[in-house]
Amino acid sequence: MTNLDFIAKIEKKYGRWNRDAAQFGNTSYGDIANDLCYSNSHFTKLMSGSASDAMYERASKNLEGLIKFDKQKETIQRLEKEKTALLEKNQEANKKNDSLTTFKYLIPLLLLPLLAFFAFKYFQNSDKKGIVEKNNKTHPMSRYFDSAGTPNTKTPYLNPAQVHDYCPCSAFEGVWNLAEEYKMPLPGNKPGLYYLAKSADVRMKCQRGATDAEKGIKLLGFENIHNEVWLDKTRTAFAPKYFNTNTKSYTEEFLRLDFENNDNFVKIADVYSCFFDEFTIGDEQIERNGETCGRYAEITDKALAQKYKIDVDYLINDVIGDMTSTSCEAATNRFCNPNDLKEGESIFSFDCLFSIDTENLGFGGGYPYSKGYRLIEQNYSSNLLCECDNK
């Protein structure tokens, strides 16, 4: 999709483009950007043709949703007019016909407002779902990071005049998420507990207070994490069925294991965490140091937790809590040239080992997992002039 296609869709929704007045029909650029859940700067990129394909795709879907919603409002208005016409007809019937005839007209009169209400709610909840979800952000830092272009707001991201001074870090600023789910066992007195990493909604920004030597290579990350705890009701030992202690690797059976579609497994708790990261961006590698800012659990099946004597508080504080000290290798930096970063595609991952106490696990090592970050929305996506030693 090009910016011309995008502009044509805007005209379809709002009216003819008036460049001098910065309006479409009677609607300003700022109001349209707000309708599409984009900042003013992102809307400018969409208009100029410098936005990414992913941005155009999302904006196009939001526009289509708004256009559909307008049509559905027209349907509601038509139903209201029909209701009014029936009401007038009913009043005439009251004068000419007996009470039975009147009752026949009252039935559709009673039903039409209900039909109109439910139709409106259905359309509002289904066709505007994407727009509602974009507005209903859950990241704890959302009001600071995701409100660019709104009045009385100062975004933590760099402004365009600063991005070249903080290169390559400035290219990493924006919205990231967990690239892929991963799972691992939770060590304890009895086997059968598992940890499933479901999602991480991440905001990344350059560290402005870095020293001159680290300026442009220090990146801060703020993660809103959702994970789950699952119970194997059969309490099957993890090794050797799911883990080869000789190679210290998971078996194919474990890699294929789908907790949600296996009757032997049941979810015990949802775990939510707020996490702070400090990344150091090198030409070849990206290093990460992080710590949790807080964590809490919502028990989803208290009866089973009690039946199997699962202490969720112990899991949160002594088992999952120890994952913050897990050892991880540096990630390979495939974006020595930061202009190679692409929304929806670019990923960097950390290979890690998790263990509470090596001796307790009984095989002289830890359980491996890989945590990756995927770029979703880049704050600054125009060309950056950075030197890369690995050209």
In tens, the pLDDT along 277-315 reads 999 999 999 999 988 888 888 888 888 888 888 877 777
Answer whether residue 93 shows pLDDT above 50: yes
Residue 230: the pLDDT is 93
Task: Give CA–CA dist 273/32, Å, rounded.
Answer: 35
CA distances from 79 to 68, 83, 109, 110, 127 (A): 17, 6, 11, 13, 19
pLDDT for 46 beyond 70: yes
Q: Which residues pair with 195 in a beta bridge?
A: 184, 229
Residue 151 to residue 74: CA distance in whole angstroms: 32
User: Is 349 a residue whose pLDDT tops 60?
Assistant: yes
Please count the other Cβ atoms lying within 10 Å of the Cβ belonging to residue 297: 19
Q: Which residues contact 80 (CB under 8 A, 6 or more apart)?
A: 116
Which of 101-115, 155-169, 180-194, 351-365 has the weakest average pLDDT? 101-115
3-state secondary structure of 86: helix
Question: What's the confidence (pLDDT) of residue 126?
Answer: 43
Beta strands 174-178 and 182-185 are: unpaired
> Is residue 129's pLDDT more than 60?
no
pTM higher than 0.85 = no
In this prediction, residue 137 carries a pLDDT of 46
Most confidently modeled range among 43-57, 178-192, 228-242, 287-301: 228-242
- What confidence category does residue 251 fall into, taking pLDDT thresholds of 50, 70 and 90? very high
What pLDDT shows up at residue 134? 40
CB 374 within 8 A of CB 344: yes
Give the length of the chain: 391
- Give the torsion sign (CA, 254, 256, 260, 265): negative
Q: Where are the domains of the chain?
A: 3-132, 142-378
* CA dihedral of residues 12, 18, 19, 22 (deg, nearest 10): -90
CA distance 113 to 238: 59
% pLDDT > 70, the chain: 82
What pLDDT score was predicted for residue 262? 94
Report residue 38 as tokens.
């984009």
